[in-house]
Amino acid sequence: MTTRFSTGRYKASGHPNAYEAVNEMFDSAADRLNMDPQLRSILKTPFREVTVAVPVRMDSGKIHVYAGFRVQHNGARGPWKGGIRYHPQVDLDEVRALASLMTWKTALLDVPFGGAKGGVSCDPMNMSMTELERLTRKFTARIALVLGPQRDVPAPDLGTDGQVMAWMMDEYSSRRGYTPAIVTGKPVTLGGSLGRKAATGRGVVTIADSYYTAMGQSLKGKTCAVQGFGNVGSFTAQFWAERGGKVVAITDVKGGVYNAKGLDVPALSKFFDEKRTIAGFPGAEPMNNQDLFSLPVDCLIPAALGDVITPDNCVHIKAPLVIEGANHPTMPEADEDLHERGVVVIPDILANAGGVTVSYFEWTQNLTQFYWDEEKVNRELDVKMRRAFMDVHELARKEKCSYRTAAFMQAIKRVGEAETQRGN
Ligand code: NAD
């Protein structure tokens, strides 16, 4: 099928894969910076890519061999940093793209890390806890050579959580001695930071608040629709409502809910804790993903999967503001369309950077063995997020470009300087 987006610039499907999409964003910012071609190719190329086989004995007694990946993209500004994703669609291209995004995200927030990402192609929703533990331990053992508190520090992502980080920490520590700084996003009892669990959602709402403040408006009374009710989506909804906004719709993998008057988010969370889905929540109408994207809300927040805002559905988006809670939720052609239509998109590398920022605080606390109270964590997070927003906002105004291009420009400039200063 030919669409107005079929430009022939992508190899396979006519649409970019995740890695091509991130490189396209990089190139458009690097063009504006007039970046030297040699530095450009250094910055675009991942430093190291590790692929491992992960054989796991399943509860049935049979062995299943999973594919595991860790990509270290750029480490010029500090140890590699990035989450571990468990999802059936994990592949090397996606992990590369996400690793690259981490390089730009850590630079944009000015936390002293490089960018990495890892993942295992598996379906955690259909695995038992014992299978997940065996998978995590085997995967950790097989990538342990390239990890380390001063080398590469994983964190949770889609399909992984504090428990998975606890197993990774234990597996690594059983070889090298007690090493809490090997992962972030751990349970607080094992050296995790207060405030880390909520940090990404808190950051998303801080960015929304910063945006409305910069526009001379307020978040109070603003409506939003959120895709995803996992770590990012649930805390985003909670903080949006706590700041006086109205969350009118949320979807997850099993369904969704809508209430024009605003959903009761604490009651929804309670319902989710019991049912493991939000579908069927009383006091709300059913909602699907397609309709969620076309709701006439003030702000649309994708907080689940990548590539969900496509050339096909972007034309139906009525929200004037999109805040990317998920990583790369917007395909480049859709991004162009939204920009042309005047829809403001606040990019993932800024909007969802609260998680890695508090991961930095956690790593710092682990290295010093001196722990902060939650108020200090949230205060420092607020300062870093608002500063990064203003950097991007001012650059976007100066360059007359999108927030995404401005965010990439700022980040690429910082990494480029570090790379050049370190020399070859
Ligand atoms: P999670 O596993 O906790 O939650 C994922 C949510 O997405 C769940 O509610 C799930 O039901 C929903 N979902 C899955 N498939 C869906 C579908 N087809 N339609 C609608 N909903 C669907 O994951 P998370 O940690 O909240 O991460 C979500 C996104 O945010 C990912 O893109 C991740 O890379 C990104 N992110 C996470 C963090 C973090 O700190 N956890 C930080 C930065 C970015």
User: What CATH number does the domain containing 276 carry?
Assistant: 3.40.50.720
pLDDT value at position 279?
94
Q: Is residue 248 part of a domain?
A: yes
CA of 156, closest atom in ligand 1: 41
* CA end-to-end span of the chain: 46
Q: Say if ligand 1 is within 6 A of residue 238 CB.
A: no
Three-state DSSP class for residue 111 = coil
**What is the count of structural domains for the chain?**
2
Q: Is residue 284 part of a domain?
A: yes
User: What CATH number does the domain containing 109 carry?
Assistant: 3.40.50.10860
| Distance of alpha carbon 420 from alpha carbon 417, whole angstroms | 5
User: How many angstroms separate the alpha carbon of residue 242 from the centre of ligand 1?
Assistant: 21
Q: Say if ligand 1 is within 6 A of residue 253 CB.
A: yes
Q: Which two tokens stand for residue 62?
A: 């049979």
What residues contact residue 101 under an 8 Å CB cut-off, 6+ apart? 22, 115, 117, 327, 328, 348, 349
pLDDT value at position 3?
37
Residues 162 and 109 in one domain: yes
Residues 203 and 234 in one domain: yes
| Distance of alpha carbon 85 from alpha carbon 102, whole angstroms | 13
What residues contact residue 41 under an 8 Å CB cut-off, 6+ apart? none
Q: Is residue 407 part of a domain?
A: no
| Domain edge (last residue) among 351, 372, 394 | 351
Mutate-to-test residue for ligand 1 from 184, 229, 231, highest number of ligand atoms within 8 A of CB: 231
Residues 171 and 222 in one domain: no
Q: Say if ligand 1 is within 6 A of residue 160 CB.
A: no
Residues 230 and 324 in one domain: yes
Question: Over the stretch 239-266, which tens digit does the pLDDT of each residue have?
Answer: 999 999 999 999 999 999 999 999 999 9
Mutate-to-test residue for ligand 1 from 87, 158, 229, highest number of ligand atoms within 8 A of CB: 158
- Identify any residues that bridge with 92 across adjacent strands, giving them in sequence order: none
Three-state DSSP class for residue 272 = helix
Q: Is residue 141 part of a domain?
A: yes
Domain that holds residue 208: 199-351
**Helices (H), ranges, 50-191:** 92-108, 129-143, 162-176
| Distance of alpha carbon 364 from alpha carbon 156, whole angstroms | 17
Residues 131 and 251 in one domain: no
Q: Say if ligand 1 is within 6 A of residue 25 CB.
A: no
CA distances in angstroms from 270 to 234, 251, 276, 330, listed in the order given = 11, 16, 10, 31
| Domain edge (last residue) among 291, 324, 351 | 351
User: How many angstroms separate the alpha carbon of residue 378 from the centre of ligand 1?
Assistant: 22
Residue nearest to ligand 1 atom 36, measured at CA: 326
CA of 85, closest atom in ligand 1: 34
Residue 211: half-sphere exposure toward Cβ, Cα within 13 Å: 22
Residues 203 and 177 in one domain: no
Q: Which two tokens stand for residue 366?
A: 């682990």
Q: Is residue 391 part of a domain?
A: no
| Distance of alpha carbon 138 from alpha carbon 144, whole angstroms | 10
Residues 213 and 341 in one domain: yes
Burial class for 71, CB neighbours closer than 10 Å (0-12, 13-18, 19+) = buried
Q: Say if ligand 1 is within 6 A of residue 200 CB.
A: yes
Q: Say if ligand 1 is within 6 A of residue 18 CB.
A: no
| Distance of alpha carbon 300 from alpha carbon 58, whole angstroms | 40
Q: Is residue 368 part of a domain?
A: no
Residues of the chain with pLDDT under 50: 1-10
- Identify any residues that bridge with 154 across adjacent strands, giving them in sequence order: 82
Distance from chain centroid for Cα 215: 25
| Distance of alpha carbon 415 from alpha carbon 75, whole angstroms | 9
User: How many angstroms separate the alpha carbon of residue 288 from the centre of ligand 1?
Assistant: 16
Residues 262 and 296 in one domain: yes
Q: Is residue 377 part of a domain?
A: no
Over the Cα atoms of the chain, what is R_g? 21
| Distance of alpha carbon 84 from alpha carbon 385, whole angstroms | 23
| Domain edge (last residue) among 190, 211, 234 | 190
pLDDT value at position 13?
57
Q: What is the DSSP letter of 265?
A: H
State pTM to two decimals.
Answer: 0.94
pLDDT value at position 283?
84
Contact 323, 232 (CB under 8 A): no
Residues 216 and 347 in one domain: yes
Q: Is residue 8 part of a domain?
A: no
Q: Say if ligand 1 is within 6 A of residue 304 CB.
A: yes
Residues 139 and 224 in one domain: no
Q: Which two tokens stand for residue 151?
A: 């080398």
Three-state DSSP class for residue 183 = coil
Which residue in the block uniquely carries the two structure tokens 């940090």? Answer: 199
As annotated, the active-site residues are 117
CA distances in angstroms from 44 to 47, 255, 304, 305, 350, listed in the order given = 9, 38, 26, 23, 19
Residues 182 and 251 in one domain: no
CA distances in angstroms from 197 to 162, 221, 231, listed in the order given = 8, 26, 7
Residues 107 and 208 in one domain: no
pLDDT value at position 14?
64
Burial class for 48, CB neighbours closer than 10 Å (0-12, 13-18, 19+) = middle
